[in-house]
Structure 1
């Protein structure tokens, strides 16, 4: 697969990942953490704010692979 196509696909995947992940994290928090104290909200959003980086790093690693010569 050409590098430019892989980067286009990876960029689209990262955008989809961020949007879906943010919606899921906020929905989960609003359903289950509504009556929780402020420090639980702080810890939850701190960890969920960092957790999306792991799948994004895998996508970026895939995007940056060199093209295979045929």
Structure 2
């Protein structure tokens, strides 16, 4: 896959990941944490705020790999 196309696909995937992840994390927090204390909210949003980095790192690593040379 050409580098420019790979970066375009990766950028679209990253934007989609952030939007979908934020919506899902907020929906779960709204449904499950409504009556919880502030410390539970803080811990939940701290961990979910860091958790999206793992798939984002994989996408960025995939984008940064050099294309295989054609023989």
In the superposition, the TM-score normalised over structure 2's length comes to: 0.97
Listed as ranges, the matches of 1:1-70 within 5 Å are: 1-70=1-70
In the superposition, the TM-score normalised over structure 1's length comes to: 0.98
The structural deviation recorded for 1:7 is 0.4
CA–CA distance in structure 2, aligned partners of residues 69 and 61 of structure 1: 18
For structure 1, the 5+ residue unaligned runs are none
Runs of 4+ in structure 1 off by over 4 angstroms are none
RMSD of equivalent CA atoms: 0.4
For structure 2, the 5+ residue unaligned runs are none
